[in-house]
Chain A
Amino acid sequence: MPSLPLYFYFEAGALIISAFLLFKFKNKPIHWFLPFLFLMVCVEFFGLFYQRVLHKPNTWLYNITIPLEYVFYGFIIGSLCLTPAFKKIIFWLTGLLAAWAIINLFFIQGFNNLNTNTLKAGSTCMLIFSCLGLLDLFRSDEHTTLLANPLFWICTGLLFFNAGEFTYLFFFDTFLSKGWDQTARLFGSINNKMIFILYTCISIAIICSRIQKKKT
């Protein structure tokens, strides 16, 4: 098996942190990160295994799991938000996104083509959700320690990750159709670095949620 990419270790690191901190810890909805991260690490591992060892396409795997990721983040941010209007917007958009992902997967782009339509919609939704999450923190009437708030770290991670790939995703089809590999590699490298930021922020969010729970 060839060596694993660096971002995989960041994902695995977040999983280990969540396993240590969230295993016996029922703090809804943060404790859902444990099965989610486990799934993500498995997906990355099998995705790499398919591509590098079996030399088979792994697009179908990501077409299924990436929408799940979007739905999961929508659920987490929606649950952590305190403003009812924001909750409603986030849950509705998440539902619509899930419906769109299913329609796109089964009827439009299919399993074997990368579902770029879903990625574009998902990335846009993630940017909206993160902004709403941060706005929710501003609106709170209570004393908020931003750097110890899980919602802040989750939103920050998602904002950086999606801002990094947002523009690129909108031209992804052009790059694919014209076979511009160099650009794809350049943005693949940017995307990997954004994964470091995303999973570091998620690890911090998990640690913060544990500290909050201990305090209460």
Chain B
Amino acid sequence: MFPNTEEENLTTMILLVTIVLIGFVCFVVLLAYLFTTKKNKLLREKQLMQAQFKQELLQTQIEIQSQTLQTVSQEIHDNLGQVLSLIKLNLGAIAATETAANQTKLTNTKQLVSKAIGDLRELSQSLYGNKIAELGLVQAIDNELKILQNSGQFKTSLKITGNAFKLNPQKEIVVFRMMQESINNAIKHARAKNIEVGLKYEAASFTLSITDDGIGFDPADLKSSTQTGMGLKSMKSRARLIGADFSVNSIPGQGATVSVSVPDVS
């Protein structure tokens, strides 16, 4: 094929080296592919572990919060409640021996103490997570709205769509706390007077919505703000914990609506 041996030998040598080089390139490319696939797998596992860790951290935070609220609730019920009951009893005993003018004052004081006992009982129930699970979400929310309505400063309404069913107890507590946080925001920041809570029960999902007639805000401001309120952050975290979708819609001057949608309630 080649006119002389020198040319043939050199050509064969170059060809061989070229084949080896191309083979090496194929090996490098294959190695790159395999290495990247393995690296991606490890990265995915790492992300999954981080997500799981975050979830566990959130759960622990909520459990600690729940425990704290329970302790506060018990303290109110066992100590403050007992002390007030004792005061009421003492007032009753004193009233029998007092003059008519003082009796009116004592009756008024007894009524005030009774109201304080009632309010504390409601507050204790509202803080006590297990009570929420016992009462059920609808009843717990209804009680909460009644407390607000009884203050005389707010008008509240509860709208239930679909056939109400029980969610997982942990989910019910989380949803209830989110409702409390939303109402708190509506009163504190939005200066709302009317609050409407909606509970929508569907075959495979549940949606809680809280609508107020407060001053509202521009959601874009909320997104661009680096100091998004702790309440909102906590609500987002809670929603993530139970796998719910959380959204806030508002127009300045036209109130706001907070929605928590829990998919796959089965």
Contact = CB atoms under 8 A, between A and B. Distances in A.
Contact of B18 (A131, A138, A159, A164): A164
A164 B14 contact: no
B22 A187 contact: no
Nearest to B26: A160
A152 interface: yes
A171 B10 contact: yes
A171 B263 CA distance: 70
Contacts of B193: none
B6 to A, nearest CB: 8
B108 to A, nearest CB: 70
Q: Is the interface of B mostly helix, strand, loop or mixed?
A: helix
Contact of A152 (B2, B17, B18, B32): B32
A143 B14 contact: no
A163 B11 contact: no
A156 interface: yes
B2 A138 contact: no
Contacts of B32: 134, 137-138, 146, 152
Interface residues of B, number: 25
Pick the most buried of B17, B24, B32: most chain A CB atoms within 10 A of its CB. Answer: B32
B29 to A, nearest CB: 5
B25 A159 contact: yes
A124 interface: no
A154 to B, nearest CB: 12
Contacts of B1: 182
A182 B1 CA distance: 9
Contacts, number: 69
A27 interface: no
B28 interface: yes
A144 B36 contact: yes
B36 A138 contact: yes
Interface stretch (B38-46, B132-140, B163-171): B38-46
B10 A190 contact: no
Contacts of B3: 182
How many chain A residues sit at the interface, stated as a range, is: 20 to 34
A163 B11 CA distance: 16
Interface string A170-190: 010010001010110011001
A190 B21 CA distance: 13
Contacts of B44: 143
B18 to A, nearest CB: 5
B18 A143 contact: no
Contacts of B53: none
A189 to B, nearest CB: 12
A180 to B, nearest CB: 5
B18 A190 contact: yes
A119 to B, nearest CB: 15
A201 B130 CA distance: 64
B14 A138 contact: no
B18 A186 contact: no
A174 B10 contact: yes
Interface in B227-261: none
B7 interface: yes
A121 to B, nearest CB: 17
Contacts of A199: none
Nearest to B24: A163
Interface of B: 1-3, 7, 10-11, 14-15, 17-18, 21-22, 24-25, 28-29, 32-33, 35-37, 39-40, 43-44
Interface of A: 131, 134, 137-138, 141-147, 152, 156, 159-160, 163-168, 171, 174, 178, 180, 182-183, 186-187, 190
Nearest 3 pairs of A and B residues by beta carbon: A163-B21, A167-B17, A146-B36
